[in-house]
Amino acid sequence: MKNYLTEQIKEDFLASLKLLISYPSVLNENENGTPFGQAIQDVLEKTLEICQGLGFKTYLDPKGYYGYAEIGQGKELLAVLCHLDVVPSGDEADWKTPPFEAIVKDGYIFGRGVQDDKGPSMAALYAVKALLDSGVVFQKRVRFIFGTDEETLWRCMGRYNELEETATLGFAPDSSFPLTYAEKGLLQVKLHGPGSDFLQLEAGEAFNVVPAKASYQGAFLEKVIAGLRAAGFDYEETADEVTVLGVPKHAKDAAQGVNAIVRLAKVLQLLAPHPALSFIADAVGEDATGSRLFGPILDEPSGSLSFNIAGLTITPERSEIRIDLRIPVLADKEDLVRILSKKAADYQLTYEEFDYLAPLYVPKDSELVSTLMGIYQEKTGDTSPAMSSGGATFARTMPNCVAFGALFPGAEQTEHQANERAKLDDLYKAMDIYAETIRRLAGE
Ligand SMILES: [Zn+2]
> How far, in Å, from the CA of 196 to the mean position of ligand 1?
41
Q: According to DSSP H, which parts of 212-332 are helical?
A: 221-231, 260-271, 275-278, 291-294
Peptide bond into 395 cis (omega under 30): no
> How far, in Å, from the CA of 172 to the mean position of ligand 1?
9
Question: What span, in angstroms and rounded, lies between the C-alpha atoms of 442 and 142?
Answer: 7
> How far, in Å, from the CA of 69 to the mean position of ligand 1?
19
Three-class SS state of 210 = coil
Q: Is residue 252 a contact partner of residue 328, using CB atoms and an 8 Å limit?
A: no
Q: What are phi and psi of 202, to 5 degrees?
A: -145, 110
> How far, in Å, from the CA of 266 to the mean position of ligand 1?
37
Write the burial class of residue 371 (CB in 10 Å: 0-12 exposed, 13-18 middle, 19+ buried): middle
> How far, in Å, from the CA of 328 to the mean position of ligand 1?
22
User: What is the reported pLDDT for 389?
Assistant: 85
> How far, in Å, from the CA of 327 to the mean position of ligand 1?
21
Q: Is residue 322 a contact partner of residue 202, using CB atoms and an 8 Å limit?
A: no
> How far, in Å, from the CA of 175 to the mean position of ligand 1?
7
> How far, in Å, from the CA of 32 to the mean position of ligand 1?
25
> How far, in Å, from the CA of 320 to the mean position of ligand 1?
30
> How far, in Å, from the CA of 227 to the mean position of ligand 1?
43
Reported in sequence order, the residue ranges of 231-379 that DSSP labels E, i.e. its strands, are: 235-238, 241-245, 298-299, 303-304, 306-314, 318-327, 350-357, 360-361
- Tens of pLDDT, residue by residue over 300-313, are 999 999 999 999 99
**Number of Cα atoms under 13 Å in the Cβ half of residue 256:** 6
> How far, in Å, from the CA of 342 to the mean position of ligand 1?
36
Question: What span, in angstroms and rounded, lies between the C-alpha atoms of 215 and 236?
Answer: 9
> How far, in Å, from the CA of 87 to the mean position of ligand 1?
9
User: What is the reported pLDDT for 46?
Assistant: 98
Peptide bond into 301 cis (omega under 30): no
Low-confidence ranges of the chain (pLDDT < 50): none
Q: Is residue 259 a contact partner of residue 308, using CB atoms and an 8 Å limit?
A: yes
| Percent of the chain predicted with pLDDT > 70 | 100
- Tens of pLDDT, residue by residue over 189-211, are 999 999 999 999 999 988 988 99
Enter the pTM of the model: 0.86
> How far, in Å, from the CA of 393 to the mean position of ligand 1?
7
> How far, in Å, from the CA of 384 to the mean position of ligand 1?
22
> How far, in Å, from the CA of 70 to the mean position of ligand 1?
21
User: What is the reported pLDDT for 2?
Assistant: 85
> How far, in Å, from the CA of 336 to the mean position of ligand 1?
29
> How far, in Å, from the CA of 199 to the mean position of ligand 1?
40
> How far, in Å, from the CA of 168 to the mean position of ligand 1?
22
- Region for 283 from its dihedrals, namely left if φ exceeds 0, alpha if ψ lies in -120 to 50, beta otherwise: alpha
User: What is the reported pLDDT for 391?
Assistant: 78
Question: What span, in angstroms and rounded, lies between the C-alpha atoms of 180 and 202?
Answer: 36
